[in-house]
Structure 1
Amino acid sequence: MASALAEVAALGGFFALRTDAPDEGWHPVGASYARGFADLATAVADRYRTDLRVGVSIAQLGHAARLWSPVLACTLLHGIVPDLDTLRREDTGSALGLPAPAGWYADRLAEPEHTLGAQVMDHLARLEAGLAVRIAPRLLDGNAASALMGSAGVLLAARPDIRGPLTRLVDRLLGTGRLVGTGSVTGPGLGFRRRSCCLYYRTPGGSTCGDCCLAR
């Protein structure tokens, strides 16, 4: 698992899960969820000069991408679904790590997409439960789907040879649990049109994202 994670980290920052992070300066990500991701949400709101609700949405979207990216890549490129149970977060940033990397061989799972999806969506459900501001659940589900498809697009660009299995996997994921009905794939390049908005357009100078339901 550690070897697979090290290899997929080369695809970009969102694909990195550190396995060598020291105890000092890191904490179980569940502690961040219990605090409603307040530090990152506030930092995002301050950076974009917007309200906390928008900051929460953007922070959750970024976190979702950091969860989906290494899990998708490890599953498709190495046949291993990472176990995110021991996930930790850097105290002063958004980086994530696994102090004890473990996982499941995908070909030994009856429905690997369910195991993969649960690893990410369970984390996002715990984050949502701790939020101190009201965010529409379907907005957060749309963020999860948008992050999934963004991660898949980066992976496809890096490894066009896995288009078939990648497309099949994201189709199955979009057909499970809270991702059902969040949007639709719009082309062979894994373009996506979501049915909700992450609220980024409400930041000063902000615009709609490419997959937004409000985009023309």
Structure 2
Amino acid sequence: MDQLAALGPFFALDTHHRDEPARPPWQELRTLVEDPAVLRERVDGVRGHLAAAGGQDVADVELRVAASVAQLGLTARLVSPTLGVAVLSGRWPRPALDLARWQPVPGGAFPLSFAAAAFEPGTPDDLLAGPVRELVLATAGLSVSPKVLWGNVASAVNGAATVLAGARPELAAEARAAAALLLAHPLLRGTVATVPPGTGRFRRRSCCLIYRAAPGGAGALCGDCVLSR
């Protein structure tokens, strides 16, 4: 856990006993996909933040833009520690939604906790076909294209590998290899235009839409955006 936390706030993890009930401020992460109100509350929070950053009314920020940005942040928070465990320990964990808890505080690097069972040997499929896919399906219900959402997943994978390689240069090759395994998964096929990940040459085939949150929809593009030149 200390090694993960040293990689950055998106990698930090707490642990809990699976049989102990979640006590406030902790909540079961699965409520994000099982209770539409919980996800909508998260999206509305992001929408308010984006509006304030642009000096706009909340209504000026499209719901689908806020939903995409929220899903990207949630996914990055799940992907980062999972990839970090794989690189540091040499084996993939299996972070199922029913094994994870969170504190829905503002910001991307919210407190996250895994039950001990999440650290049993897993595969990249456990992450992508499990909690990540569930978040994609839930967020798609807020009028966001699945192509955009899966592109967000690819971006989160590359971002995690890049941050890990920057924090631990001696593990850069392992970080890129772990990211490559995730990006080769069938669910992420076709999401990336340029590889390898974590090298500064990564580009996705879609846009997270955050540029549209700026006044007039004229915000800056992310470095890995398909629209960027």
| Shared fold (TM-score, shorter chain, > 0.5) | yes
Deviates more, 1:16-25 or 1:157-166: 16-25
1:52 aligns with 2:32: no
Residues 40 and 172 (structure 1 numbering): CA distance in 2 closer, same or farther, change over 3 Å? Answer: same
Identity of aligned residues (%): 35
Aligned to 2:90: 79
Equivalent of 2:45 in 30, 43, 46: 43
Name the CA distance, whole Å, in 2 between partners of 1:12 and 1:27.
22
Aligned to 1:173: 182
Aligned to 1:109: none
Partner-residue secondary structure (3-state), 1:130: helix
Alignment of 1:92-111 (within 5 A): 92-93=105-106, 94-100=110-116, 102-105=118-121
1:190 CA displacement: 4.7
Name the CA distance, whole Å, in 1 between partners of 2:150 and 2:70.
14
Letter of the structure 1 residue corresponding to residue 8 of structure 2: G
Letter of the structure 1 residue corresponding to residue 32 of structure 2: S
1:34 CA displacement: 2.2
TM-score, length of structure 2 as denominator length:
0.80
Is 2:136–2:150's contact at 8 Å kept on the other side of the alignment? no
1:150 CA displacement: 0.4
Give aligned pairs, total: 204
Partner-residue secondary structure (3-state), 2:148: helix
Aligned to 1:116: 124
Q: Deviations over 1:168-216 (max 9, x none)?
A: 2222321112111111226772531000000011012521100000011
Aligned to 1:32: 32
Aligned to 2:145: 136
Ranges in structure 1 where 5+ consecutive residues have no aligned partner: 106-111
Letter of the structure 1 residue corresponding to residue 189 of structure 2: V
Aligned to 1:17: 13
Partner-residue secondary structure (3-state), 1:10: helix
TM-score, length of structure 1 as denominator length:
0.84
Q: Displaced runs of 4+ in structure 1, greater than 6 A?
A: none
Is 2:75–2:156's contact at 8 Å kept on the other side of the alignment? yes
Is 2:161–2:198's contact at 8 Å kept on the other side of the alignment? no
Ranges in structure 2 where 5+ consecutive residues have no aligned partner: 52-60
Deviates more, 1:10-19 or 1:128-137: 128-137
Q: Deviations over 1:104-125 (max 9, x none)?
A: 35xxxxxx6xx12432442122
Deviates more, 1:122-131 or 1:61-70: 122-131
Deviates more, 1:120-129 or 1:7-16: 120-129
Name the CA distance, whole Å, in 1 between partners of 2:118 and 2:16.
14
